Amino acid sequence: MIQAKVISVNPVEIFRPSQVANTMPHDMKGLSWPATTSWTALLYPGAVGWLHRAEPLPSVQVDALAQHRVLLTLTVPRMESMPFSSHADVRARCRYVSYVVREIDLYRPLLAGRVAGMHWVADLVRLLCPLELTKLMYSLNRKLGVSAEGPAARSVELGGPPPEDGVLPLLSGLGFTDLCFNFVDGEHWAHATLQQCISLAGSLGFERLHFRVESARDLDSLLRLCMPASVFVESDLEACRSLLGGFRETVPGFFVRSSGLPEVDALCGLGLGGISAAAEGFWQNTVRLDHYYEALDSGRLPLSGHGGKNLPIER
């Protein structure tokens, strides 16, 4: 049985302005920004590699994306000021989604036809209801050309068992091609639930499954259920290498059997605190919810800094 450590992380609390002025928290796992071991970085290294270069990246304007094949990421923050549990807070959640749609509108002239892939972090699936997930995907399809009929890959993370029985069929219907299972920093998966989820994913036609595991023992039990497209292992690497003889270890701990994912060379992060990067440099959305709303109300992209200007992040 897979055992998983349960953590609760507030990315906005971690990513306060005092820290933004000093460092990029690349080593933080499971958060909105792409750490070196995040699924975003592992599956789409061409989009995220710019953020991990030794030399500092300059802050640039968003029109740098116009010459690139772009990976979209979407995030929904866990915040005390915008909880997602009670009926009263459904309004706050719906408001946030409506503002993300406004942000998509502003990116339309720049990104239409340039989106080669999309990755949703786990909180989107677990914090948004099916209607809200559908609204976001519909807006992306209609305004940016991210369509189930197109060549773009669409990957989504599962930090724990799907909150509702209909989530996997919904994700399949929305055109997602890849499921990323997290068995390390997430909720506990009962073996029967996991077996049912993997079986359902196969019957729904998901093209690839990706696993993040703690050790060789966890990996061995998973390989008895299915053969994933890739695996990231936190520890016990030598034992895992012997279990994954048909896989290529592209970076320490990350084993790939088959990719099939598109080549992308730029990242565009939508939502509160979203980070974007290309060869020319990077920019980040504001991490304050009130500033995020104010910028979009005035028809500006919600970038860090006053007036929608970018603020450099030093390393």
Residue 266 pLDDT level (bands cut at 50, 70, 90): very high
Question: What is the per-residue pLDDT for 235?
Answer: 86
Q: Alpha-carbon distance 188 to 190, whole Å? A: 6
The mean pLDDT value of the chain amounts to: 78
pLDDT at site 33: 52
Its pTM stands at 0.81
CA-wise closest residue to 77 among 100, 59, 56: 100
Q: Which of 18, 11, 24, 14 is nearest to 53 (CA)?
A: 24
Q: List pLDDT tens digits, range 97-155.
A: 999 999 999 999 888 888 999 999 876 888 888 889 999 999 988 888 765 555 678 99
CA distance 33 to 10: 12
Q: Which two tokens stand for residue 197?
A: 């989820």
So what's the pLDDT on residue 18? 30
Residue 117's H or E segment, with its range, is: strand 115-120
**pLDDT digit string, tens, across residues 173-183:** 999 999 999 88
Q: How confident is the model at residue 263 (pLDDT cuts 50, 70, 90)?
A: confident
> What is the 8-class DSSP label of residue 114?
T
Summarised one tens digit per residue, pLDDT across range 60-81 is 778 888 889 999 998 776 544 4
Q: pLDDT per residue over 126-140, tens digit each?
A: 888 888 999 999 998
Region 161-183: mean pLDDT is: 91
DSSP readout, 37-92? TSHHHHH-HHHHGGGG-SSPPPB--GGGGGGS-EEEEE-----TTS-SSSGGGHHH
Phi/psi of residue 211, nearest 5 degrees: -120, 140
What average pLDDT does this structure show over 216-237?
90
